[in-house]
Amino acid sequence: MATTILAPAAVLVAWSLVMLGWLAIARFGTLAKLGNAPPPAPGLRGQDIDPILGTAAWKSHNYAHLMEQPTIFYATVFILHIMQAATPLMVKFAWAYVALRIIHSVYQALVNKVTVRFSTFMLSTLCLAVLAVKAVMVTV
């Protein structure tokens, strides 16, 4: 395990790109299977074609999630790094956050039962809250 708190952030960035690729493959694959179906109207957003995509849309939903709460994670990690407050414990919380987000992604993309997804989301949020409290403590 890397000792720098920036490593988990870098891994989450890379994972987000993996999810972007996965969603593209899933979308294009599903649309290709539809073959002769009329194409969606021009200008529609991803969520507008969700009914057509079925479970392929789950990857897209997860990618959107990775563009939301993790932005707080990135800011928090950078604050802890800049303030030289990235203790080994904080690094472990950062890695736990990333691991839980990856588990959340895979689960949402493949199974997508909300109760399990919500549990991993809440555990990751708890890790983020610990990191955020530490960031506030060292900056205020």
Residue 38: the pLDDT is 66
Q: Is 88 domain-assigned?
A: yes
Q: Tell which residue, 1, 4, 140, has the closest CA to residue 81.
A: 4
Sites in the chain below the pLDDT cut of 70: 1-3, 37-40, 46
Altogether, the residues listed in the chain come to a count of 140
For the domain that residue 51 is a member of, what is the CATH number? 1.20.120
Number of domains in the chain: 1
Q: Is 1 domain-assigned?
A: no
Q: Is 80 domain-assigned?
A: yes
Q: Is 25 domain-assigned?
A: yes
Q: Which residues contact 125 (CB under 8 A, 6 or more apart)?
A: 69
Q: Is 97 domain-assigned?
A: yes
Task: Write down the pTM of the prediction.
Answer: 0.90
Residue 33's domain comprises: 6-139
Can you list the alpha helix ranges (DSSP code H) found in 4-113?
6-34, 50-53, 57-66, 70-82, 88-110
Residue 45: the pLDDT is 74
Residue 1: the pLDDT is 46
Residue 14: the pLDDT is 98
User: pLDDT tens for residues 77-103?
Assistant: 999 999 999 999 999 999 999 999 999
Residue 56 to residue 53: CA distance in whole angstroms? 5
